[in-house]
Amino acid sequence: MNKTPLNKIDRESVAGLQRQLDELRKRLGVSDRGQILHRFDASHCDEEIILVEADGLGGAVLRVVEGNYPMDFYTREEQIFPTEAEALHAAESFPGVPGSSGDT
């Protein structure tokens, strides 16, 4: 954690790198790191939630969380996927998601 402000040159350098990264992600069709790509409420009381979160490098993480997301929750299950599309497909097929093949 940075406790002192960046000087003007360092700040401009970081901002320039971020712009380049944003442009590259846009060109490649990659979502920002930490962006929630989809949220599926697997229970009627929102106690079990299936999230797909982008890793910023083209992949994504599927998480099954329980509790009061995003304030007070725990991760019950986590799977890493090499592409965002694979993670979304896995989430849509997850038991409990309406219309999924795993839904009974």
Pairing of strands 48-54, 60-68: antiparallel
Residue type, 69: Y
Structure tokens at 49: 């939630």
| Maximum pairwise Cα distance, the chain | 58
What is the pTM assigned to this prediction?
0.81
Structure tokens at 33: 């790191």
Which residue would you say has higher pLDDT here, 104 or 30? 30
pLDDT digits (tens, 9 = 90+) for 16-55: 999 999 999 999 999 999 999 999 887 766 688 999 999 9
pLDDT digits (tens, 9 = 90+) for 55-95: 999 999 999 999 888 899 999 999 999 999 999 999 998 77
